[in-house]
Amino acid sequence: MSTLGEALDARRNSINAIRLFFCVSILLLHCVPLSGHGTMPKWIFADTLGTYALSGFFALSGYLITSSRFSSHSTKDYLWRRVLRIYPAWVASLLFVAVVTGPLSFVLQGKSGYNWNSAFHYVFDNLLLILRALTVEGTLLDTPIKGVWNFSAWTLFYEFALWVGMALLFFIFRGRWLNAGMWLGLVTFTAIKLASQIQAGTLVVAPAGEATFDEHRSQTVLTLLEPLARLGIFFMAGALLFVYRDRVRMVGAWALAALGLSAALAVVGLFHTFAALPWAYLVVWCATSPRFGRVNYPDDYSYGMYIYAYPVTQLVAVFALAHPMPLPVFMLIATVITVPVAWLSWHALEKPAMKLKRLTAGADKAVIGITPTPAPN
């Protein structure tokens, strides 16, 4: 019975395959509403299926980002690596919409007069990872989901915020207090999510039909914090699995129990509040399998699949306005187009950008399993 640190080989694992699976799953699930074939499925669960894939992605992110912080020489080195990982491809994805999918959507509909000024604002307004502009004026007017070029990217701001939060944890909670700081993060996010759920179901309404000022202010704060908490719960669960990697045992029976518990919580609507640790355990247990270890290591196409899938799918939706097609065909076309774009993004931009990490003092590679003692900051 091996520990997580022993089982998760840093050179041969299925982490990239699982992350890619989650991203492709989200692509396919988004095809349902974007093609006009209904809403994202829930089956017997309280939330749409894509939210569970996203939670698994953030659990792995928490594990990997914590590993990256341990192997970084300093906070500056760590943050520089994080910027290199997310930002160049993000800018490229904005340009992809502004100068590729946006104009092509006009061509497919036989329109003219593409608004390049609006396209410029789409890029400029979204540079800081906050989706301040969802569309280019005049595009996506007739698609089932109108005027939104990349809604999937709403998570990127929260992802980066959690990365910065990890740097703050290492700064505030040093040495033996670090684990306590991570538990505090998990408990805090859980409390915020739970308070949000309670308020959504039990908000007291004033006689006039509007919430009181204090209630409205509280509701606004929770509304702003809820997305960060919902994603942060799973991020911190993954982080905790990393710091306890030499104590956590990888047991098949435990993984089955984690699956059952996660499914039960998903059915009753408490998955995003209480299922973080069992779901994260199940995901990393799958990652310890060498079955897919050679499929995509060290290449990670998941980020490219994630940030390009939505605009590509919207472009396919524009094409489908004049050429209706069954949902499976729509899904196939969206996937076939997104895959080479993600491949190109990794090999032409993301991977080369990561080589710039040597501009800081951090030359060490992030270790997925057991890591050496990190250098002091």
Q: How far apart are CA 318 and CA 300, in angstroms?
A: 29
- Position 214 scores a pLDDT of 47
Q: Tokens at residue 80, please?
A: 């520089």
Query: For residue 6, which of 243, 241, 250 has the smallest C-alpha distance?
Result: 250
pLDDT in tens, 274-308: 999 999 999 999 998 766 666 656 789 999 999 99
Residue 127 contacts by C-beta under 8 Å, 6 or more apart in sequence? 91, 94
- DSSP for 256-315, written as a single string: HHHHHHHHHHHHHT-HHHH-HHHHHHHHHHHHT-GGGHHHHTT---HHHHHHHHHHHHHH
* DSSP character at residue 138: T
**Which contacts (CB < 8 Å, 24+ apart) does range 262-271 have?**
263/45, 266/45, 266/46, 266/47, 266/52, 267/44, 267/45, 267/46, 268/46, 269/46, 269/47, 269/197, 271/45, 271/46, 271/47, 271/52, 271/55
Q: Cβ–Cβ contacts within 10 Å for residue 277, how many?
A: 20
| Pick from 284, 276, 292: nearest CA to 255 | 284
**CB distance 71 to 373 below 8 Å:** no
Tens digits of per-residue pLDDT, 111-167? 999 999 999 999 999 999 999 999 999 999 999 999 999 999 999 999 999 999 999
Whether the per-residue pLDDT at 368 is higher than 50: the answer is: no
Query: Tell me, what's the pLDDT at 295?
Result: 60
- Bridge partners (DSSP) of residue 206 are none
The model's pLDDT over 38-80, given as tens digits with 9 standing for 90+, comes to: 999 998 999 999 999 999 999 999 999 999 999 998 999 999 9
Number of CB atoms found within 10 A of residue 297's CB: 18
Q: Give the mean model confidence (pLDDT) for residues 228-236.
A: 97
- Say what percent of the chain tops pLDDT 90: 77
Q: Across the chain, what does the average pLDDT equal? A: 88
- Cβ within 8 Å of residue 7, ≥6 positions away: 250, 288, 369
Nearest-angstrom CA–CA distance, 362 and 331: 41
pLDDT at residue 117, as a whole number: 97
More confident residue, 373 or 262: 262
Whether the per-residue pLDDT at 343 is higher than 70: the answer is yes
**Rounded distance, CA 317 to CA 130, Å?**
25
The pLDDT, as a whole number, for residue 212 is 41
- What Cα–Cα distance (Å) separates residue 195 from each residue in 46, 188, 200, 203, 316? 18, 11, 8, 11, 40
Domain locations along the chain: 4-359
Residue 287's contacts (CB-CB under 8 Å, 6 or more residues apart) are 8, 13, 14, 15, 18, 60
pLDDT band at residue 197 using 50, 70 and 90 as cut-offs: confident
Q: Is 200's pLDDT higher than 90? A: no
